[in-house]
Amino acid sequence: MSCVLPSIPVWEEFARNVSGEWDGFGADFTSKGEPIELPENVVPEAYREWEVRVFDWQTQCPTIAEPEKSVLTYKLIKLLPTVGCEADAATRYSIDQRNIGGLDNKASAFGYHSSGCYVAVWPMENNDEFRLLELEHCLVDPQNRESRVRINQVVRVDKMVLSLQNIKVFREQWYGPFRNGEQLGGCAIRDSGFASTGAMSGSEVSGEWKGSEFVASFQSPQTNICQELVDEKPQKSIRDEQNLVLLPKQLWCSLKEIEDGGTSGEVGWLLERGRAITSKCIFSKEGKLQAS
């Protein structure tokens, strides 16, 4: 697989905005939006004694995109929970490295925008009965480029039927230039755990919406996995509250069948009343990615 850059200046700007040390918190949710507790064996004894339930991982996501090459690499680092402000001495629990472009590419599709927003499709499992995909949506606050969320939809493709298995959410702040995770923001991180806070109200994002749209098309046979998200004419969309999985911190997602028999996997972030940023992947009725 290869990445052919249609516009070098756009990729260079994307590389500047996406690269760096992104520290924050992450949590897993069920397909219904219910937070999933961390494994008991990673939770400090003190929390168990106090009967404190722990849902959030503290995370690092050192990310580097090479301005002159079509390559992006990041590591998702989960840290063992600590009691009090001991984050600078935290122990790593797991490291998941992901590569886009180049010889080590692991993505099957990648759409990017100069702002630092992107969407990626990661094949996770494939057997005779079904396959698993992870749809990663990275949304950057247009008014604060140092604040972003990544919402990952884990989707099961059984023959031609797509179903949502679970959701991963990461709220992250830019902490400094890329240093490969050598330094942790620690107590300077401008955020906190969020998984057990209240979910947003569906009425805030349901109904008819209108706004700008940026699209990348992925038609078979597809050899170029990297596509720039290109400005299209303004679009209207109607969002039904019944199809939404509501999440904390003004986030939501959905996986639903669309008119032509295909499937749309969407996530969104309500920035303020009446103003939101969304991302979606559209699959054909045969279960193949068409656009993001």
1 lies in some domain: no
Task: Please indicate, yes or no, if residue 250 is contained in any of the structural domains.
Answer: yes
Confidence band for 2, pLDDT divided at 50, 70 and 90? very low
Confidence of residue 119 (pLDDT cuts 50, 70, 90): very high
What pLDDT, on a 0 to 100 scale, did the predictor assign at position 207?
93
For the chain, the domain total comes to 1
Task: For residues 102-108, give the mean pLDDT.
Answer: 90
Q: 186 in a domain, yes or no? A: no
CATH number at residue 125: 2.40.128.20
Does 5 reside within a domain?
no
Say if residues 218 and 109 touch (Cβ distance below 8 Å): yes
pLDDT tens per residue across span 254-263: 999 998 889 9
* pLDDT on residue 102: 84
The answer to whether residue 163 sits within a structural domain is yes
The boundaries of the domain holding residue 102 are 10-181+194-291
Residue 176 lies in a domain: yes
Whether the predicted pLDDT of 129 surpasses 90 = no
* Sequence-distant (≥ 6) Cβ neighbours of residue 49 within 8 angstroms: none
Instruction: Give the integer Cα–Cα distance in Å for 257 and 261.
Output: 6
Phi-psi region of 159 (alpha: psi -120 to 50; beta: other; left: phi over 0): left
- List Cβ neighbours of 230 (8 Å cut-off, separation of 6 or more): 214, 215, 216
Sequence-distant (≥ 6) Cβ neighbours of residue 67 within 8 angstroms: 11, 12, 15, 16
Please give the C-alpha separations between residue 36 and each of 49, 54, 195, in angstroms, as whole numbers. Answer: 20, 9, 8
Report yes or no on 4 lying in a domain. no
- Pairing label, strands 92-100, 161-176: unpaired
Q: What percent of the chain has pLDDT over 70?
A: 91
The pLDDT score that the predictor gives to residue 1 is: 42
Determine, yes or no, domain membership for 189.
no
The pLDDT tens digits of the residues spanning 166-192 come to 999 999 999 999 999 887 755 555 668
